[in-house]
Amino acid sequence: MRLENKKAIVTGGAGGIGRATSLALAAEGAAVAVVDLNADAAEGVAAEIRAAGGSAIAIAADVASEADIERVIATAVAELGGVNVVFNNAGIIRRTTAVETTVEEWDRVFGVNVRSIFLMCKHIVPIMEAAGGGSIINTGSGWGLKGGGQAISYCASKGAVVNMTRALAIDHGPAGIRVNSVNPGDVNTGMLRDEARQLAQDTNAFLAEAADRPLRRMGEPSEVAQAVVWLASDDSSYVTGSALVVDGGGIA
């Protein structure tokens, strides 16, 4: 058990990567607060963890809202007895170019993907500081490192996640808080199917294209989860400010 005595918040915890990571953190001994816009699905993941003998609660919240983030943290601290791991993972994508993107869509993507992480850190860092440290992991994307087509707000937001992670690591390292990003390539979740819908493409053809990388397949959510477990654990005690890529070698 690599995460005994860890207490973790996972945002987007009901989705593909968030659910797998919530399960993986709990399997290593962490108590987990599963946070998601989808209340029923979050409760389902928490129930799954408890049924497997783990410890979990569900919290319904919109991570773009400061009031919701403050409530999430207060609830997690009260019910888990503290928080020393945060996985800022909730995210949305809009498959549009700059010309096609409305200001409202741009703001919503940045609200969910970027402001959420700022808000979480604004309110969790003092708690981690007082407790002597912690580990924060933010979900970036391969497209946050290299860019991609027809996803201008998403690419900009994930680039912001990667660099915000470095800035957070610099500011809060002296307090013992490590901050890293995990950057998946194409992972087999609902998000990819949503992208195929948004682009009006055949889902199977879209998924086949997503698998065109050196390892010749998409990633599975559990494979991202294991990277997050490592970053959450003391096994990565000298790692901060890094952008860990988990993408099957999707370099091009």
Residue numbers at the binding site for ligand NAI (CB under 6 A): 11-12, 14-18, 36-38, 61-64, 89-92, 112, 139, 141, 184, 186-187, 189-192
Nearer to ligand NAI, 148 or 173 (CB): 148
Taking a C-beta distance cutoff of 8 angstroms, is the pair 61, 88 a contact?
Answer: no
CB of 245 to ligand NAI, least distance (A): 10
Residue-wise DSSP of the chain: -TTTT-EEEEETTTSHHHHHHHHHHHHTT-EEEEEES-HHHHHHHHHHHHHTT-EEEEEE--TT-HHHHHHHHHHHHHHHS---EEEE---------TTT--HHHHHHHHIIIIIHHHHHHHHHHHHHHHHT-EEEEEE--HHHHH--SS-HHHHHHHHHHHHHHHHHHHHHGGGTEEEEEEEE-SBSSHHHHHHHHHTT--HHHHHHHHT-STTSSPBPHHHHHHHHHHHHSGGGTT--S-EEEESTT---
Nearer to ligand NAI, 14 or 128 (CB): 14
Taking a C-beta distance cutoff of 8 angstroms, is the pair 8, 87 a contact?
Answer: yes
CB of 66 to ligand NAI, least distance (A): 12
Catalytic hit among 15, 54, 115, 154: 154
CB of 207 to ligand NAI, least distance (A): 10
Nearer to ligand NAI, 128 or 151 (CB): 151
Active site residue 154: yes
Nearer to ligand NAI, 1 or 215 (CB): 215
The number of CA neighbours under 13 Å toward the Cβ of 122 is 13
Nearer to ligand NAI, 54 or 184 (CB): 184
For residue 122, what are the contacts with CB-CB under 8 A and spacing of at least 6?
none
Give the residue numbers marked as catalytic.
154
